[in-house]
Amino acid sequence: FSGYKLIGSHSGVKLCRWTKSMLRGRGGCYKHTFYGIESHRCMEATPSLACANKCVFCWRHHTNPVGTEWRWKMDQPEVILQEAIENHQNMIKQFKGVSGVKADRFEEAMAAKHCALSLVGEPIMYPEINRFVKLLHQHGISSFLVTNAQFPDEIRNLEPVTQLYVSVDASTKESLKRIDRPLFKDFWQRFLDSLKALSEKQQRTVYRLTLVKAWNVDELRAYADLIALGKPDFVEVKGVTYCGDSSASSLTMANVPWHEEVVRFVQELADLVPDYEIACEHEHSNCLLIAHKKFKVDGEWCTWINYGRFQELVREHERSGGAKTFTAADYAAKTPRWALFGSRERGFDPLDVRYQRKNKARDISGC
| Rounded distance between C-alpha atoms, residue 197 and residue 209, angstroms | 18
Q: What are the E-state strand segments in the chain? A: 5-7, 11-14, 42-46, 114-117, 142-147, 163-167, 204-211, 234-239, 276-282, 287-292, 296-297, 300-301, 304-305, 332-333
CA distances to 97, 166, 223, 366 from 234, rounded to whole Å, are 39, 11, 13, 20
Residues 75-90: pLDDT tens digits? 999 999 999 999 999 9
Residues 260-295: pLDDT tens digits? 788 888 999 999 999 999 999 988 788 899 999 999
- Find all residues with CB under 8 Å of 350, minimum gap 6, and list them: 338
CATH code for residues 4-339: 3.20.20.70
At residue 300, the pLDDT reads 97
Which pTM value belongs to this model? 0.87
The CA-based angle 110-116-121, given to 5 degrees, is 125
Q: Reply yes or no on whether the pLDDT at 106 is more than 80.
A: yes
Type of residue at 246: S
Q: Reduce the secondary structure of 157-187 to three states and give it as a string.
A: CCCCCCEEEEECCCCCHHHHHHHHCCCCCCH
pLDDT range class, residue 298, cuts 50, 70, 90: very high
Q: Is the dihedral of CA 337, 340, 345, 347 positive or negative?
A: positive
Type of residue at 118: S
